[in-house]
A = this chain, B = another copy of it.
Amino acid sequence: MTRHVELVQALRRSGHRLTPQRESVLTVMAENAQHLTAEEILARVRARYPYLNKSAVYRALALLTELGLVNQTDLGRGRVEYELHRHPHHHHLICRRCQQMTQIDHALLATLGEKLARDFGFQADLDHFAIFGTCKKCQTRASKHSKRHSH
């Protein structure tokens, strides 16, 4: 059973209608492993299926997120990025200086998740985390030229 069929079934099982718009969103997301913005999803769907509206994209994404089929992440670019829920989870280190993004795997956050569950009974959504900071390269660069401007 393909990923696409699984997703369609999950949608139906949840009691929601399978519309061509929703299906086209799923299709495009299944074809693209990387994060997509709502605008990108709209554009890619329209390349093949022109009958899709911006609102429908946002409404579909909200539903799919609610059903746990899609993850939303704010990668610091002023708009949310969407991706099909992946197993195993993955996360990102994002350099505030050069914007470089490094993917890291879930093991690094698993311990934290367990601690929060144990100590607080809090079930953290550690599906798709964005951690901001300074990458190795930029740290070196920063120590050479002082970052601060002094007029």
A residues near B, CB below 8 A?
A: 14-15, 67, 74, 93, 95-96, 102, 104, 108-109, 111-112, 115-116, 119-126, 131-136, 139, 148-151
Contacts and interface: CB of A to CB of B under 8 A. Distances in A.
Contact of A134 (B104, B115, B119, B123): B123
Nearest to A14: B148
Contacts of A116: 93, 104, 108, 131, 133
Counting every copy of the chain, the complex holds 2
> Considering the complex of A and B, which 3 residue pairs feature the smallest CB-CB distances, nearest first?
A121-B136, A124-B133, A15-B150
Contacts of A124: 93, 131-133
A15 B93 contact: no
Nearest to A16: B151
B136 A122 contact: yes
B108 A122 contact: no
Contacts of A149: 15
